[in-house]
Amino acid sequence: MFLINLESTDPFFNLAVDEYLLKDRQDDFMVLGINDTSVIVGKHQSTHRETNTRFITDHGIPVIRRISGGGTVFHDNGNLNFSFILNSEQGKQVDFRKYSLPVLDFLSSIGLNAGLEGKSDLKIDGCKISGNAEHVYHNRVLHHGTLLFDADLDLLKDVISRDTGKYLTRAVASNPSPVINLKYVLKYVLKDVLKDVLKDVLKDIDNIKPFRDLMLQWFVDNYQGSEILDLSDFEIDKIKALADSKYRTWEWNFGYGPEYRFENRFVYNGIESVCRLFVKDGIIHECDLKGSEGLSAALKQLIGCRHMPEDVRKVLSNENIPAGEFDIFNLF
């Protein structure tokens, strides 16, 4: 198995690495990477339903769709991402327990007693430390996941939506769970029970990069035939092209995914209003508002518009509905 330690922290590029290695190579790989702040949604999710659209828009946080299913996860520089891209017998590729076991073994080696709970979550004492997802391609499987080491948990709560009742869709829903950082567990929960020899190993593990290096070395030591590999310049160019043509596009990140209906109640100019949207392929196909007649006429112009804040704002501005008068996030 080849072990790849990604230098890039670009989430668009790093997600493209997984797809490239899955589809363009035939070797077995484990990839470790750290991403800049971003929200990663599952292949079959409705992006606005799973994220706090107002917050991510105001703070310029990218939302990126991955090729695997499952729920929404948060990435930042305190989160370690791992991927296994492996050849597997057809019909037996989907096996969360099998592919989570190496990660659980590594965590156990540093005193962390984690387990697989439910379908795809790794937890310690009921708190989630890792979400996992899989994607099958012919006789190969991609199993990837997160490890919360020192992530900004307050930011995680801000970017992931908890009010999903406005959306009616067959899209896959996330399954929110209490979360905890591994650094906190090591520093505070286990500080008095770790053996002295383990304390010596972990004393310098105070941020994500030494933790990543420790995990990488554990795989070198425990998986016979493992070899650290760097991506070639040719491969990097191919991956960059894939990131640009797919992972950086609105069509993939927002336009792809199941259709949905959206309904919200709000007060506009002292009038209680109810707005209903039907969105398919990221485009507003129907828009109906009961309440203010002036706003209702303006919202009709949203038909054919992308269901995105900047697009909605532009249309309403052209209809003489200023941003300070109407909160466009009533429509998300």
* String of DSSP letters for 136-158: EETTEEEEEEEEESS--HHHHHH
Question: Strand 115-117 relative to strand 121-124: parallel, antiparallel, unpaired?
Answer: antiparallel
Inter-helix orientation angle 208-222/96-109, to 10°: 110
CA-CA distance, 330 to 332, in Å (whole number)?
A: 6
Q: Which of 255, 280, 300 is the last residue of a domain?
A: 255
Residues 246 and 280 in one domain: no
Over the stretch 189-233, which tens digit does the pLDDT of each residue have?
Answer: 666 655 565 566 666 677 899 899 999 999 999 999 999 999 999
Segments forming the whole domain that contains residue 268: 260-331
DSSP E strands in the chain: the ranges are 2-5, 29-34, 38-41, 63-65, 73-75, 79-87, 115-117, 121-124, 127-137, 140-148, 167-169, 227-228, 260-268, 271-280, 283-290
Residues 181 and 290 in one domain: no
DSSP letter at 294 equals H
Residues 11 and 146 in one domain: yes
Query: Which tokens in the block code for residue 76?
Result: 């930042």
pLDDT score of 112: 87
How many domains does the chain fold into? 2
Residues 319 and 205 in one domain: no
**Positions of the chain with pLDDT under 70:** 189-204
Residues 21 and 152 in one domain: yes
Inter-helix orientation angle 11-24/233-242, to 10°: 110
Rg, the chain, Cα only = 22
Q: Which of 210, 236, 255 is the last residue of a domain?
A: 255
pLDDT score of 49: 95
Task: Spell out the SS3 assignment of 65-121.
Answer: ECCCCCCCEEECCCEEEEEEEEECCCCCCCCHHHHHHHHHHHHHHCCCCCEEECCCE
Residues 285 and 235 in one domain: no
Query: What CATH number is given to the structural domain containing 309?
Result: 3.30.390.50
